[in-house]
Structure 1
Amino acid sequence: MTVSLDQLRRCHFAVDLGAARTRVYVKGAGLVVDQPSAAAVNTRTGALMAVGEFAEQMTGRTPSYIRVVRPVSGGTVVDIEMAQRMLRHLLGDPLRRSLRRKPRLRAAACTPHDADPLAQRAAIETLVGLGARRVELVDTLVAAAVGCGLPVEQPEASMIMVCGAAATQIAVLSLGNIVTAERVPVGGEAVDRAIVQHLRHEHALMLPSQSVRPLQVALSGNGLSPNGPASTEIQGRDVATGLARSVRIDTAAVRLAIQTPLTGVLDGIGKVLRDCPPDLVADLADRGIMMVGGSALLPGFDQMLRQATGMPVHIAERPDICAVQGLGAMLEGRIRPLNLDTLAA
């Protein structure tokens, strides 16, 4: 594990700061915050207008002096002060006061697998600003694997793919540690951009603001799979006239547009498997890949991976909250590591 389980059991709360959503787990209370990582700011006064769901709804619908910002990008805090302000409002005064009464308040946080020291420092400073005296960092891949029930502490291979908004992380784990891992800068946002560009170039249509998931609108039914609907109707703004217009688009063409960014994910899976010891790859032939993260729910994505790799592909029961659930399981002491005692000479 990235940090010892004994240290994590001493933590009082855990935070999963994602590019799309922020989740907070409090020891003994469970998941208390699950909101979009967004904040609306009055640029004239610097006052915070809204956070979470309400700020997300304001995206693209505000006057010029109100700006919706996202203090987290790709799992890394890019604006520490705004992340602290957002977290304070998401937690609320009663919960923050109860946490501050804890002696030597400790916190845990998820960080991407390849996070550099500056990114790790930003996560630590964000939680220190909330009153934490000590912050433990846990690799997102390990936390997500624990959260979806993979036996990561056993001497057998477990392959996990964390499908985030900004990036996809792929890893093989064994004995509680990462054997090999790869981060691909392709996530749900890249897929959304591919759909937006396709509609603009092929149909001269601009979709509404980014708060409307074009992916959910354009792909229905079986989504990426060929068995999905042949066409679907979508509404947007005409590029030339600026008027509202609806067009019927061919979903096969949309699937083709989506395939381009997703090939990077397939390349990442291939690299991880090539770098993995043969004995562990043999385990994966039967166990397959576990998909977690919000973008794992992309319609037909699992079927596409199944056809491309020839391996079983599974989606976790609650893929969007697996990482914070894994942190919570570590905080509550529900994980028992495999004890490997050093043999005497």
Structure 2
Amino acid sequence: MTSTDIGIDLGTASILVYAKGKGIVLKEPSVVAYDKDTNKIRAVGEEARMMIGRTPGNIVAVRPLRQGVISDFEVTEKMLKYFISKAMGRKAFRKPRISICVPSGVTAVEKKAVEEATYQAGAREVAIIEEPIAAAIGAGIDITRPFGNMIVDIGGGTTDVAVISLGGTVVATSIKVAGDNFDDAIMRYVRKKHNLMIGEPTAEDVKVKIGSVYPMPQPKVMEIKGRNTITGLPKTVALTSEEIREALKDATSQIMETIHSVLEKTPPELAADVADRGIVLTGGGALLGGLEQLIEEETGINTVVAEEPTLAVAIGTGEYMELMSKMDKTL
């Protein structure tokens, strides 16, 4: 294997690139700003994210991936090309072997689109990996052994719940309820309850700072600014973590239902393993306050958050090729 092997976590909210021997070499939002008049890309990643909701008419800041799926093929391809060359640096002579991650619920057509975009962006070889498997590897679980492990990966666009054994998924479900839905729910709640319009970045800020899905001994408070929907003037409101819990109720109950349904479909031997070994949470959504307590309370199964939940999928994607070649040798 050459040093040009890279793993890409193609997320709805952010893109992470893992290079063999170097670890995570790039982490940027999956946002592209382009000029509608000339169709030229003006900015990619963090620079483009700063432009969301703040651009003049001719410049649009878009997220080309919606709910883990490519919604704009051309822009995704350009974005991938940009990130790959940025991660590889100028010195790369050989085209890289790229393993890239997709949510477990994507269709064959969507998988093909990701593969195609990666080849177009300059890959020599492409391996498509399902998100829960990558998340499990990145969380440090040895997926090659005949034990059941349960992974709940909450990203920006999708939540993947899977039971993994012997290097493959035994039962898996992917739902389009994740970080973005949490943001939307907060925006809706604030509009309804406080007559205040806030943007996506503010909602995300609230979620990160005071977001909670489980009663806290000491509720947190945060002041936010937005536009009053009645007067149209700027207005400041104090939000509490209890209110955010209320706002996120629907989204979290959908995730809980998915966990229950995956557990119900799991073969008894593997279900016993999961009860022993616990549930592992990965993805940015795993950082939501009180999530592990909520899952533990509802399932009765010990739940932990992976060490680096936001990096787990990217690390797992990068290590997947090595792991599979080891498995082939032992078989």
Q: TM-score, normalised by structure 2?
A: 0.91
Greater shift in the superposed pair: 270-279 or 235-244: 235-244
Q: Distance in 2 between matches of 1:337 and 1:40?
A: 42
Which residue in 1 is equivalent to 2:76? 83
Which residue in 2 is equivalent to 1:4? none
- Give yes or no for contact 2:84–2:121 (8 Å, CA) kept in 1: no
Q: Distance in 2 between matches of 1:244 and 1:200?
A: 13
Which residue in 1 is equivalent to 2:151? 160
Change beyond 3 A, Cα 1:249–1:11: closer
Q: Compute the RMSD of aligned alpha carbons.
A: 2.5
State the one-letter code of the partner of 1:35.
E
Change beyond 3 A, Cα 1:50–1:11: closer
Q: 1:175 deviation in Å?
A: 1.2
Which residue in 1 is equivalent to 2:39? 46
- Give yes or no for contact 1:204–1:240 (8 Å, CA) kept in 2: yes
Which residue in 2 is equivalent to 1:274? 264
Q: TM-score, normalised by structure 1?
A: 0.88
* CA deviation map 1:222-260 (0-9, x unaligned): 833322416543222111122111123354233122111
Q: Any idea what SS the aligned residue of 2:253 has?
A: helix
- Give yes or no for contact 1:293–1:322 (8 Å, CA) kept in 2: yes
Query: Which of 13, 18, 21 is the matching residue for 2:6?
Result: 13
Q: Distance in 1 between matches of 2:105 and 2:276?
A: 28
Structure-to-structure mapping, 1:90-129, within 5 angstroms = 90-92=83-85, 95=88, 97-99=90-92, 101-102=93-94, 105-129=96-120
Which residue in 2 is equivalent to 1:247? 237
- Give yes or no for contact 1:153–1:338 (8 Å, CA) kept in 2: no
State the one-letter code of the partner of 2:197.
M
Q: 1:44 deviation in Å?
A: 1.1
Which residue in 1 is equivalent to 2:215? 226
* CA deviation map 1:42-61 (0-9, x unaligned): 11111111110010011011
Q: 1:184 deviation in Å?
A: 1.8
Q: Any idea what SS the aligned residue of 1:58 has?
A: coil
Q: Distance in 2 between matches of 1:220 and 1:24?
A: 26
State the one-letter code of the partner of 1:109.
I
Q: Any idea what SS the aligned residue of 1:211 has?
A: helix
Which residue in 1 is equivalent to 2:27? 34
Greater shift in the superposed pair: 165-174 or 216-225: 216-225
The structure with more radius of gyration: 1
Count of paired positions: 330
Query: Which of 162, 173, 191 is the matching residue for 1:200?
Result: 191
- Give yes or no for contact 2:183–2:207 (8 Å, CA) kept in 1: no
Q: Distance in 1 between matches of 2:77 and 2:34?
A: 14
Greater shift in the superposed pair: 106-115 or 266-275: 106-115
Q: Distance in 2 between matches of 1:172 and 1:107?
A: 25
Which residue in 2 is equivalent to 1:189? 180
Change beyond 3 A, Cα 1:174–1:334: closer
The question of 1:296 aligning with 2:294 is answered: no
Change beyond 3 A, Cα 1:329–1:252: same
Change beyond 3 A, Cα 1:43–1:162: same
- Give yes or no for contact 2:211–2:241 (8 Å, CA) kept in 1: no
Runs (5+) with no aligned partner, structure 1: 1-7
Q: 1:35 deviation in Å?
A: 0.5
Q: Any idea what SS the aligned residue of 1:172 has?
A: strand
Q: Any idea what SS the aligned residue of 2:183 has?
A: helix
- Give yes or no for contact 2:187–2:200 (8 Å, CA) kept in 1: no
**Identical columns (%):** 33
State the one-letter code of the partner of 1:223.
S
